[in-house]
Structure formats: C-alpha cells, structure tokens
Amino acid sequence: SSNQMWGGRFASGPDAIMEEINASIGFDKKLFDQDIRGSIAHATMLAEKGIISSDDREKIVTGLETIRIEIESGNFEFSRQLEDIHMNIEARLANLIGPAAGRLHTARSRNDQVAVDFRLWVKEELIKTERALTGLIEAFLDRAEEHAATVMPGFTHLQTAQPVTFGHHCMAYVEMFGRDRNRVRHAIEHLDESPLGAAALAGTGYPIDRHQTARALGFREPTRNSIDSVSDRDFALEFLSTASICATHLSRLAEEIVIWSTPQFGFIRLSDAFSTGSSIMPQKKNPDAAELVRAKTGRINGSLIALLTVMKGLPLAYSKDMQEDKEQVFDAAESLELAIAAMTGMVRDLTVRTDRMKDAAGSGYSTATDLADWLVREAGLPFRDAHHVTGRVVALAESKGCELAELPLDELKAIHADITNAVYGVLTVEASVASRKSFGGTAPAEVKKQIAWWRGRN
Ligand code: ARG
C-alpha cells in the first residue's frame, strides 16, 4: 500500500501499532483553532512577502475558515492515519481548494507549527487562570471583610496556638493566591514569543517576516533562536509548575475545609450546593468537592513530574517525545480550572459558625502567651522567666480542669506575687487578638488594612 502523507519516500503505510503509538489527533484536535490562526497568519505573511500569490492566500484563508466551521459544528472527519491536527487540517484544505493548499507549508515545519499552536493555547489558558484567581481572591476578600473580627483558634501542629481572626486566616489565602496569580502573569510574559518561522530547526531561506507573524498572533516578539524555538517546552513546564503550586494551595485549603466541617470541629457548614449526602447514613453531609480538589492536586503535580521526565533526556532540537506534552497540560488545565471554580463556590457559600470558633479559641489555654507578655510588661520579668511562670499557671488550670481566666487571684499570686487583678484583662480572646497590632498581625484593625491594600490591587 502507499503512504498518504510521505508517499514520495515511503513505499508502504505504517503498521497498525505504529499508527496507534504515533497518532496524536485524539487529543491535539483541541488545538484546531490555534492551528488555523497560525496558518492564516503564516499564509498572509507569505503573500505579503511575495512568496505565494495573493490569490492562493485567499483560497487558503477561505478554506481554513470553512474547516474551522466544520470542526466547530462537529462536521469534520478526523483521521488517525493523518496523525495529528496539523496534517488533518492540511489534508482537508487540499480537498477543499486543491493544489494551492500545498503552498501553505512553504517556509514552515510541523515543528514550529506545533510550538506556535501550543504556545497560543497555553497563553490563553493562563489568561483564563488569571481571571479565575481574581474571582477566588475576591471571594476571600468579601469573607475576610465580613469576619475581620471573628475570633477563631490559630494552630501550629494542628494544636491550638493563639487566637486569630477568621478574616486574618482568609487573608493568608489571599496572599497565596495573589502570589499564584503573579506566577501566572510571569509565565505569560515568558511565553509571549512566537516560534513560527523557525521551520524545522535551522530557520529558512525564504524571505519571511517573523516579526509580522508574531504581531499578527498577538505575541510580543519572535523567539531569537530557531533551534531553541522548536526544542523548548519551558512554557508548558512553567504552566504546570505554576498550576502545581496553586493546586497545592487549593489542597491545603481543601484539607482545612474538610477538617473544619467535621462535627468535632464544627467551624463551618458547607452549603447544600457544595456537599453531598450518604446513600446509607441520613445524617451525613460530606465535603466531596473539597476532597476532590485535594485529589486533583495529585493529578496536576503528577503532570508536572511527567513532563519534566519526558523532557530531561532530550537532545536538541525536536524529538517525538515532545508530543506527550499536550495531554499533561490539557489534563492539568482542566483540573485546575475546575478546582478553582469549586473552591470559589465553597468559599462564597460556606457558613461560618462564629460561636463554635470563639469557644474553641478560648479553650486549650490559647491566651497563655498573653499572660507571659503581661508579666514581661507589668512585672518586668525576662520573657524566659515569664514563660516558666505561665507554664506553672497552665499546669494549675489543667489540674483543676478550668480555663486560665477561671483561676482565682490568690492562687495566681501564689505562683507569682506580682500578678494582679488586671491580668484578667489580657486573658480574653478578644483582648488577645486586638493586641496583635504589629504590621500583618491578626488585630481586626490591621486585617482591615490588609483587605484595603488588596482591594486596590484586585
Ligand atoms: N504531532 C506532533 C507533536 O505534537 C507535531 C510535530 C511533529 N513533528 C515532527 N517532526 N514529527 O509534537
């Protein structure tokens, strides 16, 4: 049998297994729009430089527009024999317009073609991600504003540490997702160069204008090295690493939501819209969306490692290994989009159980540090001595099964004579958070300042 694509050199067609391992059309059909835009920009430049006639350019563009409509309306027959989206579109173009189709691939290779298509796709996905993160940050700012003074326990080692406010905790996530959004912006800046015109790897002898095609496709400028242009997948890796860090933040939040929504913690209630029931236990309300966000992070991180591993041994320039870049990026992009959307919904919808948070904040001797600080301030003790005295007070409260503020003054005085009635003023959770006015601290006034700073930047 003959060979549909390389009949000149090849006498026979590929083995069925060869076709199966080689074909990427099953997933790279997602790039059809980018491929068509790339080809239109290329053909237009070729005509303007007199490399093809403007008549052929017209036919090519009209044919490509027809193909776009065919694909969008589900009337395009994809063929695995034609390997990938590039060959599928080119073959259809030949059906539609005849020999002029054969002029489109002048001064171009599939190596620069796939690089430009994929860069366009990743760039558009990054822009979507940036927007989604802005929505998530907005949701957190609203909740933080509402709960700037809502006291909850802060944790280290998941043990009660010091009282904080729920607004302050929300703002910690604003910082994380704000950094993620910066990483997204940097990734866009880094990938904003067009590889089109690098051809197979060496550039081309045709008098092409790579600045023109770069501009036409919305890139800042063309890439500067034709070998790098077709070898580089940093833009995909940077997308995946940015996605992985962001997913890791989403996963930590998901984990907190899972913990907080247990009856044991009871800090929040998830809305019906973002939870599920049990088929056997009628009382259950499960945080499935949060659990799945936590799990999607595994897929996204896995995609990063997969592509890093694909790339690490490749000599320059193009190798077919690089075809494996797309599924990783597509899967991670879909997972991340969904995870951010689900998290935005959960954050907006969840009910904060302020009573439960406040009770929890006041137990576990969370204001012990405030007592130590009081001894430093009012009794002039070195902090280490104050720490020791406070430790004895905590041990006493523990043995009596009461809170610090419930210990009678004479028993406190027995531990340290300088303790006075005024100490009770610093033992409440409200006094504790209000006192933490240092820049970036948990005092409601300070939290409101941080919210205002972010409002001006979101
Ligand atoms: N389907 C290929 C890919 O995704 C397109 C580039 C093919 N280039 C080549 N020289 N075989 O990487």
Note the pTM of the prediction, 2 decimals.
0.93
Which atom of ligand 1 approaches the CA of 28 most closely? 4
Q: List, in sequence order, every beta strand (DSSP E) within 70-182.
A: 151-156, 159-165
d(CA 174, CA 191): 26
Q: Supply the residue whose CA is at minimum distance from atom 7 of ligand 1.
A: 110
8 Å CB contact between 344 and 132: yes
Residue whose C-alpha is closest to residue 415's, from 384, 393, 382, 385: 393
User: Whose Cα sits closest to atom 3 in ligand 1?
Assistant: 323
Within 8 A by CB and 6+ apart from 436, the residues are: 442, 443, 446
Ligand 1: which residue has its CA nearest to atom 2?
323
- Provide the annotated active-site residues: 157, 278
Instruction: Answer for the pair 344, 135: CB distance below 8 angstroms, yes or no.
Output: yes
Per-residue pLDDT at 280: 77
Pocket probe for ligand 1: among 32, 85, 111, the residue whose CB has the most ligand atoms within 8 Å is 111
Asked if residues 32 and 85 have their Cβ atoms less than 8 Å apart, the reply is yes
Three-state secondary-structure class, residue 79: coil
Q: Report how far ligand 1's centroid is from the alpha carbon of 358 (Å).
A: 59
Question: What's residue 156's pLDDT?
Answer: 95
For a substitution probing ligand 1, which of 113, 114, 329 has the most ligand atoms within 8 Å of its CB?
114
What ipTM was reported for this prediction?
0.97
For the CA of 85, the closest atom of ligand 1 is: 1
Nearest CA to ligand 1 atom 4: 323
Whether residue 194 contacts residue 119, with contact meaning beta carbons closer than 8 Å, is answered with yes
Give start and end residues of each alpha helix (H) in 192-278.
Answer: 210-216, 226-231, 234-260
Q: Which two tokens stand for residue 7?
A: 């009949």
Whose CA is closest to atom 12 on ligand 1?
Answer: 323
The pLDDT of residue 282: 79
Q: Which residues contact 139 (CB under 8 A, 6 or more apart)?
A: 344, 347, 348
Longest dimension (CA), the chain: 101
Quote the ligand 1 centre to 323 CA distance (angstroms).
Answer: 6
The C-alpha atoms of residue 104 and residue 88 are separated, in whole angstroms, by 14
Q: Which residues line ligand 1 (CB under 6 A)?
A: 24, 28, 84, 110-111, 114, 318, 320, 322-323
In a mutational test of the pocket of ligand 1, which residue from 320, 326, 327 has the highest number of ligand atoms less than 8 Å from its CB?
A: 320
Q: How far is the CA of 207 from the centre of ligand 1 (A)?
A: 24
Give residue 275's pLDDT.
Answer: 83
Say how many Å lie between the CA of residue 62 and the centre of ligand 1: 25
- The structure tokens 């036409």 sit at 216
Atom number in ligand 1 closest to CA 318: 10
Supply the residue whose CA is at minimum distance from atom 1 of ligand 1: 84
User: Length of the chain in residues, anyone?
Assistant: 458
Q: Rounded to whole angstroms, what are the CA distances from 317 to 6, 74, 313?
A: 22, 35, 12
In a structure prediction context, what are the per-residue pLDDT tens digits for the chain, which is 458 residues long?
A: 568 788 888 888 888 999 999 999 999 999 999 999 999 999 999 999 999 999 999 999 999 999 999 999 999 999 999 999 999 999 999 999 999 999 999 999 999 999 999 999 999 999 999 999 999 999 999 999 999 999 999 999 999 999 999 999 999 999 999 999 999 999 999 999 999 999 999 999 999 999 999 999 999 999 999 999 999 999 999 999 999 999 999 999 999 999 999 999 999 999 888 888 877 787 878 899 999 999 999 999 999 999 999 999 999 999 999 999 999 999 999 999 999 999 999 999 999 999 999 999 988 898 999 999 999 999 999 999 999 999 999 999 999 999 999 999 999 999 999 999 999 999 999 999 999 999 999 999 999 999 999 999 99
Q: Rounded to the nearest whole angstrom, what is the distance from the C-alpha of residue 322 to the centroid of ligand 1?
A: 8
Place of tokens 């800046």: 189
Q: Which ligand 1 atom is nearest residue 24's CA? A: 1
State residue 1's pLDDT score. Answer: 52
Tell me how far the alpha carbon of residue 110 lies from the centroid of ligand 1, in angstroms: 6
Provide Rg for the chain, Cα atoms.
Answer: 31
Helix (H, G, I), strand (E, B) or coil at 153: strand
Q: State the closest ligand 1 atom to the C-alpha of 84, by its place in the atom list counted from 1.
A: 1
pLDDT of amino acid 164: 97
Q: Is 321 helix (H, G, I), strand (E, B) or coil?
A: helix
CA of 67 to the centre of ligand 1 (A): 21
